[in-house]
Amino acid sequence: MASRLLAGCLALLLFLTLIGGGVLYFLQYQQKVAVDQAHTRALELYHQTKRPKNTDIDPAKRAEALAVWRNEVIPKGGRKPFVAEALYLVAQNIAETEPDTARDYYQRIVNEFPESDRHGEATAKLAGFRLRTNPEEAKTLYSKVLDASGDQNLKAEALWGMIRVEDNPEETPSAEIRERYQEIIVQYPDSEAAGKARERLNAVHRQMIFEDPNPNEFKKVHIISKGENLLKIANAYETTVYIIEMLNGVSSTSLRQNQQILVPTWGKVLAVVDKSDYELRVYRDSDKHFLIQYKVGIGEKEWKTKRGEYIITNKQKHPPWPDPKTGKMLKYEDPEYPLGERWLGLSPPNNPNARTGLGIHGTNQPETIGTSSSAGCVRLTNEDVIEAFAVLREKSRVIIQE
C-alpha cells in the first residue's frame, strides 16, 4: 500500500514538474515573441519607412522607438543579435544627454556581441569616450577597428582617433599631425572623420593665417622692390590684393621700397560648396589640401542652388541687384537688399562671359546661414564674405555639389 502511495506521489510530482516546465517554456516563448515584436515595432517607429515621400522623420515616433528599446528590448532580449542594434541606436541618440549610459551601451556591444554588425562602430564610439579619460586605451581600441574593419568610414574614424590621441587641443598641432588630418580629408572626403578633421584644421589654419604675425607655411615675407604695387605682387603670388591688405594693414599708396610685407603662399585656390553640410570649403588647387571653411545658406526648394562647376568672373562691393521674385532693382541702401557686403558672380568655365545670376554673397539675414532659404545663391555672413572675397580670386574654380 505504502509503495503504491509513494509511486502515486512520484507520478504526481513528475506530472506537476512537466506542467511547470511547460508553463515556464510557454512563458519564455511568449516573452521571446513579445521582445521580437517590440524590436520590429521600434524599428518601424525609428526609421518610419512607410511615411509619405518628401516628409520628415517624426521625432515623437523616434522617441517612442527609443523608449521601447530601453524599456522592453534591452532589458529582456538577453544576447539576441538584434539587442546590439537596439543598444547602438539608443546610445547614438543619447550620447549628448546621457553620455555615461551611451558609453555603457557601447561597452556592452563590444563585450557581448563580437559578431554584431555594430561591433566595429561601437568600438570606435567607445574609443571616442576613452579619448578624454584613457588615451592609451582609446588608441588600442582604434587600432582594433583599423585591423578588423573594411568599412571606409570606420577606417577614417579610427585614423582620426589615432591622431587625436597625439594632438593636444590646447596647442598648435605639428606639421606631421596636420598632414595626417589632410590625408583623411583627401582619402575619405565624405566621412564624418573628414568633417572633424576639417573643423580642427579650420581653427588651426585661421590662427596661422590671420592671427600669427610671423611667416609660416601659409605666408612668407616679400620685400617691395622699386615700382611694385599690390596688384603686381598679388598676380605674382596668384592671390588677391585684398588678402595682402588684410594680412598687413597696408594699401598700394602706403607701400615703400624695401618694405617687408607678408604674402600668401598657397597659390590658386578652389572652393567647394557642399549643399548637404551647408559649407563652403577652400582648398589649395594644386594638391587639394584643405585651407579654411565657412557655413553657408543655399537656395530654397523653388530656387535650388544649381550643382556644377563654375568660375568666379565678377567680384564687386554692393552691386545693384534685380530681385528675381519681384523684378525690383535693389540698391545697397535698400532695407531688403539681399547681397550684404560682397558679391562674387559665378559663370560656366566654358562661357565666362555668361551671367548666370548665381553667386556667393553676404546677407542681411544671418539667421538663414545653415538653411535652404535663398533665391538660389550661396550666402555667407557679412564677416565671412569679406574674408572669402579676399581669399578667392577671379577665375578661381567653384564646385557646387550635393
Q: What is the pLDDT of residue 100?
A: 95
Report yes or no: 377 and 359 within 8 Å, Cβ to Cβ: yes
> Where do the structural domains in the chain lie, given as residue ranges?
59-162, 219-264, 269-401
Q: What is the pLDDT of residue 44?
A: 92
Set of cell numbers at residue 301: 526648394
* CA distance linking residue 93 with residue 86, whole number of Å: 11
Q: What is the pLDDT of residue 55?
A: 84
Amino acid, single-letter form, for residue 116: S
What CATH number does the domain located at 219-264 have? 3.10.350.10
334-366: buried (b, 16+ CB within 10 Å) or exposed (e) per residue? eeebbbbbbbbbbbeeeeeeeebebbbbbbebb
Residue numbers of the chain with a pLDDT score lower than 70: 1-32, 301-303
Q: What is the pLDDT of residue 23?
A: 46
Report yes or no: 375 and 324 within 8 Å, Cβ to Cβ: yes
Report yes or no: 281 and 185 within 8 Å, Cβ to Cβ: no
* CA distance linking residue 85 with residue 310, whole number of Å: 43
**CATH 3.30.70.330 for the 59-162 domain, yes or no:** no
Q: What is the pLDDT of residue 30?
A: 55
What pTM does this model have?
0.82
CATH topology of domain 269-401: L,D-transpeptidase catalytic domain-like (2.40.440)
Write the CB contacts of 241 (distance below 8 Å, at least 6 apart in sequence): 230, 231, 234, 252
